[in-house]
Each structure stands twice: as structure tokens, then as C-alpha cells.
Structure 1
């Protein structure tokens, strides 16, 4: 079956163009959906630039001929360097909550970018059947951070437990989030998580997740004590109760069409072993935008081929 490197490259640029984020040639190579040689990627990139299908902005490639995107990215990368130091400290702190078994940095910060209103997003893995106790305790703490205005440092928006580490929605959005996830603490749990989600190689054969270094953190006295106290039928019942209460609250938010500070529709999918953003909202919006951009690129390619045919 023939391989068309330009299509793979356009697909990568189209995805990140949704976020107005130009890429280096190394980043494009890492996110290709086909295992191409770097020499082929470089040659194809510069041919696409020559054909004016993509644009070279400094050392970045983009579908848009807008040099402001280059400046925006450089500023965002520098800001991310500072925020990541805070994120790793906060992630280490979050690991000390009862029943937390793994912490990772997600969102735009995991892609080394921070805007003026970027939150620090965290991906959390908990002990099996204790997700809702862990999540409730962490979100009660977050309520307190509103008093000091530090709530944007503690956005714990995706939870799974050790019985449900396989991500069910397997598409380019979830694959991108997974391979860019920055592990903070886990003591083995994060490695098992990556092992169960090696399906990402189908989307990105040139990239493997979980290569970043991870802090090893010993559980503190409070964490060990709370886990000991709730390692029984009381803990089982409390976890079930908290799940039902949270599910009811979020169902009401969805019915009222609530949005977050960034204007994104709020929604939470809940189950015994997971609490995650409703993919019907932001995730589906991104996938829809990607489909539209790829269709536009196909139209451009079709028009160019027609022009070339008439010239010949």
C-alpha cells in the first residue's frame, strides 16, 4: 500500500492548528501516523513550503502564514518552563492524598505551552474502589484554594482507578493527551498505565509515552492512616455514596449547560472506576474541527492538482 508522507504531515499540522500551535520538524516527526524516515519528512516539509501548502515561521511549520503564531508559541513555551516547576511541586503534594496511586500533568502545560489563563491540569490514578473518596477529599481541598486565588493550580479533571487503566476512547485526541502526559509520581502505577495503553503506537508509531523521569514519593503518615481507617466495608459504602452524590450534582450542571472559566461546556462522565470530562463536549469539538480542517486541505490539494493538470 503506497505511503503519502504529505498527508501524514498535513494531518499533524491540522491537529495542532486547532490550538494555533506551529510545530518544529522533530515534533511533526513524533506525531506522524506513519513510521517515516526523518530525511523523507524533511524533504516533504520543504516541498510543501515551496508549494505554499504550509508555511515556515522561523523554525516552526504551520498551516497559517501568521508570524504572530511563532511569537505566541515562544512566549508560551517560556511561561510553561516556569509553570512546570510549580506543577511538579503541586503534583507531589497531590500524591499525598489518601488512595492516590499516580499523578500526571496534562492539558496544554504537558505540551510545554502556557497562555495567560492556563490552568495546571492533572491526571489522577487512584487505588481500586477508592476513586470517589480520593476525588472528594482533593476537591474539598480545592474549595479552600479559592480563598487564596490559587484554584488554577489544582485542576484535577480526569480520574481513573487501578481497575480501569485502559482508556476506552481511542482516537487522535486521547492518544495525543496520553503520549504528552508528564508523569509526576506513581511508584509503578504510571508505568502499568502506559503498558495498558500501548494502543497509542497505532496513532503515533514514532513516539512512546512515559519516557519522562518520575519523582518517587513515599506516602506520608496522614495518607497511610486514612487508608488504614477506610480499608473496610465503611470505605466501600462511603465510596459508593460519594459517587452517587457527585453524579447527581454533575448531571444537574449538564442540564443547566454550565460552562467553565474558558467557556467550555462542563460535563462529567462517572462510573465506579472513572470520573472524566464528557467526551461529547470538548473532545468531540476538537475532532470535529480536525475533520473540517482536513477536508479544507483536501480541497486545496484537489484545486492545485487541477491547475497543474491544465498547465501540462
Structure 2
């Protein structure tokens, strides 16, 4: 079977989301179209009609999916309902973290960012922190959540807060940690859902990662529903930030960095020394994805796509 260039892009897109049991509407295919190049929504609709006619894709209830995978429609609807209370819990966490020193912006990431959560899953945040205060920001965020028993453990993950990604406002471009072929990282980063923004840091983060537009040009920055936004008004950390902005704050930053590195699992530190970017430990980025599945996803996505077009 020979497919047009646009049809190949559509199949690649559907194949990616199939890995997460997530069927797509025609608008979602347009928005998430991998390596799009000015294709109009009408053109995509025509290509989708052809792909369903030749049974390269299935269609039901407004969703497109790979042949024989209609069951993921009910799975998506179920996960959407599961995600609603999880988002309310995420907002509760964000309302607490916004009062901690140097927290500039908070994004929901991973499956919850596009409302595709499993019942037992935790809640993942990516946190933007003030320049020169990355370790201080993590110290307060992770420390407080540990004190109140809301960090995930090997035994309990459900609705716990996973704080495995901190980035400094001074260096928000994340292209440096992407692999040469990294479809999952591209979608993962584009799907960041902003729920707290202290001072236009969400836009700055988006601007710094314009490199993603080469892969997903139709994916405009996410506009979060107002009911899922945490107001950036009064913050309890105001006085503490004033104190830690001066020279004392530099000493404190070095001290909490040393403290956190001492108690950090040795395995994470060793992974950060490898040429891979699953774990990154620096003064501008803390990425603790020791179970990073990007390369496995890349391989599975490529294999599944090849099976369809061959």
C-alpha cells in the first residue's frame, strides 16, 4: 500500500498516541500532526476519510484509532473521568507550593497533562525556579511534601506528588536533553499544562522551546482552563525570598545543594554521569527520570508504524 505524505504523517501521529491507548479526534490529529507543514484541517479530514475507507484507520464515536483498537475509546473516556479529581488534587498541591521560595511556575506533566491518567498513578509536576536558586527551590518543595507524607514511594504512588523535574528560569531551553530521535520527549514537553505562573514564566518557557515547532508546528501553547489555574496573588514566602536574595541566599543555596547531594540515591548520581540524559543534575536543571522510557517508546513507535505502511 502506498500512502501520501500527509497520510504517513497522520499514521505516525495516531501510532504514537496508540502507545498510550489514546484515540484522537480529527482536530487533535491536526493539532498533534507530527512534522506538519501547512496542511489545512480540511486536507487532514479528506486524508482521514480515505484512511478509514481503506481500513488503515478505524473510526467510531468521533475518534480515530489503529485497526482493531476500538476498545481504547472507552479507556480514554474512563481515564478522563479519573483525571478530574486528580487535577483537583494537583491544584491543591500547587496552591501550597506557590507559597514556597523562588517557585516561579508550575506545570502538570505526563499523562495527567492531557487527562489520560490511570487510577493508581501519581501526579507529576515540572517546576520553574528563580535563577540561582534551583537547589533552594527543590529543597523547600520536596522537603515540605516529604514532611507531610505526600511524596510517592515504592509502595504508594496514587495521587502522591512526584517532583522529578526542576528547571531554572535562566536556562529553560530543554533541547539539550533531547535525543536525536526523540518523539516522546517532543510530545511530552509540548503537553506541559501550566497551572501556576508567577510572572509570565510560562510564555518565557514556551519561547525558549520554539525548537519544538519544527516537529509540532500546529501545537499552539496550551491555554489552561481558568478553573485549573492557581492565582499568583499573595505569597507567604515574600519575606523569606527577600532574605535569601542577598548574599546569605548564595550560602544557603550551596549548603542545600550539598545536603541534597549527600542524601540523594547514589544510583541517580551515577546515572547523571552517563552520556544519556535520563538523569540530569546541574545548577540549572534537575531531571530525575531514572526510569526514562523515551528510547523504548521511540523503538516501539517506529516498529508499529513500519508494520502499518509495509
* Fold shared, TM-score > 0.5 on shorter chain: yes
- Residue 22 of structure 1 corresponds to 23
Whole-angstrom CA distance in 1 between matches of 2:15 and 2:25: 14
TM-score (norm 2): 0.83
Indicate the RMSD between aligned Cα atoms, in angstroms. 2.8
Q: CA deviation at 1:248?
A: 5.5
Separation of aligned partners in 2, 1:202 and 1:231: 38
Q: Name the residue aligned to 2:247.
A: 233
State how 1:44-123 maps to structure 2 within 5 Å.
44-123=47-126
Contact (CA 8 Å) 1:145, 1:151: kept in 2 or not?
no
Instruction: Give distance in 1, aligned partners of 2:150 and 2:47.
Output: 53
1:268 maps to which residue?
A: 279
Instruction: Compare CA radii of gyration and give the structure with the larger one.
Output: 1
Deviation digits for residues 194-227 of structure 1 (CA, Å, limit 9, x no counterpart): 1221222211121211432554312423x11221
Give the distance between the partners of 1:288 and 1:248, measured in 2 at CA.
36
Q: Which residue of 2 aligns with 1:307?
A: none
1:155 to 162, 173, 179: 162
Q: Is the 8 A contact 2:56 2:67 kept in 1?
A: no
Secondary structure of the 1:216 match is coil
Determine the C-alpha separation between the residues in 1 that align with 2:243 and 2:158: 29
Q: CA deviation at 1:273?
A: 0.6
Conserved in 1, the CA contact under 8 Å of 2:55 and 2:67? no
Q: 1:239: how far off?
A: 1.9
CA distance in 1, matches of 2:158, 2:22: 26
Conserved? CA contact 2:83–2:115, under 8 Å? yes
The TM-score normalised by the length of structure 1 is 0.83
Question: Residue 200 of structure 1: which of 212, 225, 228 is its match?
Answer: 212
Gaps in structure 2 of 5+ consecutive residues: 272-277
Q: Deviations over 1:100-147 (max 9, x none)?
A: 011111111111222111221111000011111110111112213337
CA distance in 2 between counterparts of 1:293 and 1:37 reads: 26
CA displacement at 1:286 relative to structure 2: 2.0
Structure 1 residues 247, 269: closer, same or farther in 2, change over 3 A?
farther
Change (3 A) 1:277 1:209: farther
Q: Which residue of 2 aligns with 1:166?
A: 173
Which segments of 5 or more consecutive residues in structure 1 lack a partner in the other structure?
A: 258-266, 300-312
Partners of 2:289 and 2:150 in 1: CA distance = 28
Where does residue 216 of structure 1 map in the other structure? 231
Structure 1 residue 71: deviation in Å?
A: 0.9
Runs of 4+ in 1 over 6 A off after TM superposition: 147-151
User: Does the 8 Å CA contact 2:89/2:159 hold for their aligned counterparts?
Assistant: no
- TM-aligned CA deviation for residue 279 of structure 1: 7.9
Match of 2:256 in 1: 242
Task: Verify the 8 A CA contact 2:58 2:68 in the aligned structure 1.
Answer: yes
Q: 1:180 aligns with which of 174, 191, 195?
A: 191
Larger deviation, residues 289-298 vs 139-148 = 139-148
User: How many pairs align?
Assistant: 289
In the other structure, the counterpart of 2:127 is 124
Query: SS of the residue aligned with 1:140?
Result: helix
Q: In the TM superposition, what is the alpha-carbon distance from 1:3 to its structure 2 partner?
A: 6.7
